[in-house]
Chains A and B, each alone.
Chain A
Amino acid sequence: MKRIVAETAVMLSLAVIMSLSPYYSWLFVLMSIYSLLTLSWLFMRKAGRISMGHSFLFGFPVFLASAGYSFSSEVSIQLFIAGCALSFVIFYIFAEMTGRTAFVFLTLVFSIFVWVSSPKLVFEKGGYLTGGEVGFSFPTISQKELHILTGGTLTLFYLIYRIIGESRAGYFMRAVGDDETASKAVGIDLRKIKALSILLSGMTAWSAGIIYGLEFGHISPEIFSVEISVFPFIASLIGAGNPFASVLSSFGLVYLSKILNSMYPGLMGIVYAAILILSPKIGWWVYVKGKRLDEKAG
């Protein structure tokens, strides 16, 4: 419990320190969005499902909401709720009908499919065409409000993640993640656990999506890009699957992307590619180091 309090205190301190400058406040919001995405990914990972298409869960409801916002706020809210429900159902069906390996492929291919096909959504509004590759506008709020909202959301979902991790449901998720057949044999309801992990993952991702929309005031099909899909995988890989380290690595990756992309646009994409190419080696190295650290701490 002490550790959870200390970790939360570190995050809140970062939120306070970064609120002092407008640029760092903007950066904090961006870092928190990606950290929420990583936490969302970890919820699903806990139950043994590695999603490589998390951009769909993150982007789909807010993409629909932004399309609906072209008509009215009410339509936007209704479409957001429909998007949340639909993305949950789709991921649940994927988890039910596939094994672990096929789930990785299916989510990745599906998110790329949505990325490729979403620019086809174009409609006429007031004599102008909206959508396509440009996307749709989205409402914004003041930076101060956004900073508080983001800091609060990140802290809330981090606490939920840690508290659930230590609860009965969290142990069930871990058991299902380790061995589905054995979990079934001891009476764990696999469907309920999978649904719970996807729901928690979805709630985190949907919140991140809304904050993303509020931060940029605009949603384009790039929200489904492969870079966003693979981001939580990379952050978790560097953070050795530890939630706090993964949140910090998400912060670090976003900061690094700002530095590298300002040096040369697109440079961070090369770093992501290099990490993915070396991921089998990095994963092994991080795992061994993590084990050693655990042994020392023990």
Chain B
Amino acid sequence: MALNFLVSFFSIALMALLVSTNFRIGKFLNLSLGGLFAAGGYIAYFTPNPVFAALSGLLFGTLLSLAISKICRSVIEATVLSLGAGILIERGLEIVHRSSYYYFVDFDYSTYVILLGAVSYLFVLGIYLSPLGLKMKFVEEDHELAELYGINTGMIFTVTTSLASACAVLAGFLSSGSLAISPTTGFGYLISGIIVSALTAQLRQVGAVHYLALLAISFAAARFMEVLI
């Protein structure tokens, strides 16, 4: 019971972290994270290799960030592009694996989501408490000004999007054992993450304090959000 709650809590907290970092650093709402989560489940079924899952996410995130940098000029354009990328993944999965709508794997690594969530939070908090954290806060608060002061915002954006994408695929891979895998599996997780992230944003905090608040609100909301996932 307690273990199930922890899995739900860390699943939601992880998705909220990914949504939040992408929005605050990358300045867009990454709607492809739901599709990436579902892709992780399919990778678990067809190629049960977590390294492959993480690398696929990393590659996708890099391509997504490059596409956004090249094509988009506003938050809405970048968000719509990421939505298109998410739909592309889902429809692609549906077309390629049409033989069965739902897939089930015969292993259950879902408790490792706790580890993935905890490591991700520690990683982000570690960055914000390090000298690099100041740069990150600067990018969060004023993207243009940070660029003028010589911070490589493009690189930070690419790294953030790529790591977030890798984490989403890996979370989908690890959660696959407790799910009926389908192209829309990730939407519930994505929505939970967006809701928690939006609630935390109302506190108007930056840096490590924001991410600690994100963790606390995920904990408080986990019981209600379980319905969605």
If the complex has contacts A116-B188, A274-B88, A279-B84, are A269 and B73 also in contact, measured as CB distance less than 8 A? no
Which B residues touch A276, using CB under 8 A? 80-81, 83-84, 87
A116-B188, A264-B95, A280-B72 known; A274+B84 contact, CB < 8 A: yes
Bound Cα distance A233, B72 (Å): 17
Against A, the Cβ 8 Å flags (1 = close, 0 = not) of B93-109 are 01100100000000000
- In the bound complex, what is the Cα–Cα distance between A281 and B84 (angstroms)? 13
User: Interface majority SS on A: helix, strand, loop or mixed?
Assistant: helix
Output the least CB separation between A118 and chain B (Å).
Answer: 11
A94 in contact (CB, < 8 A): no
Flag if A104 contacts B76 (CB, 8 Å). Answer: yes
Q: A269-B94, A273-B91 are in contact. Are A108 and B71 (CB under 8 A)?
A: no
Q: Are A277 and B81 in contact (CB under 8 A)?
A: yes
For chain B, the count of residues having a C-beta within 8 Å of the partner chain is 32
Decide if B191 is an interface residue (CB 8 Å cutoff): yes
A279-B77 contact given A116-B228, A117-B228, A274-B84, CB 8 Å threshold: yes
Bound Cα distance from A259 to B72, whole angstroms: 31
Contacts of A120 in B (CB 8 A): 227
The number of chain A residues with a CB under 8 A from chain B is: 33
CA distance A12 to B83 in the complex (A): 36
A231 to chain B, nearest CB (A): 12
How many A-B pairs with Cβ below 8 Å?
85
**B residues 7-51 with Cβ under 8 Å of A?**
29, 31
A277 to B66, CA, bound (A): 12
> Considering the chains assembled together, what is the distance between the CA atoms of A15 and B45 in angstroms?
48
B83 CB contacts on chain A under 8 angstroms: 52, 108, 226, 230, 276
Contact A269 B228 (CB under 8 A): no
Asked if A113 lies at the interface with its beta carbon under 8 angstroms from chain B, I say: yes
Are the CB atoms of A278 and B88 closer together than 8 Å?
A: no
Check A267/B95 contact, CB under 8 A, given A109-B194, A279-B77, A280-B77. yes
Using Cβ atoms and an 8 Å threshold, which residues of chain B touch A115?
A: 187
B residues neighboring A (CB under 8 Å)? 29, 31, 67, 71-73, 75-77, 79-81, 83-85, 87-88, 90-92, 94-95, 98, 187-188, 190-191, 194-195, 198, 227-228
28 intermolecular pairs with C-beta atoms under 8 Å apart: A104-B76, A105-B79, A108-B31, A109-B191, A109-B195, A116-B191, A116-B228, A117-B227, A120-B227, A226-B87, A227-B87, A230-B87, A266-B91, A266-B98, A267-B95, A269-B87, A269-B94, A270-B95, A273-B91, A276-B80, A276-B83, A277-B85, A277-B88, A278-B71, A278-B84, A279-B80, A280-B77, A281-B71
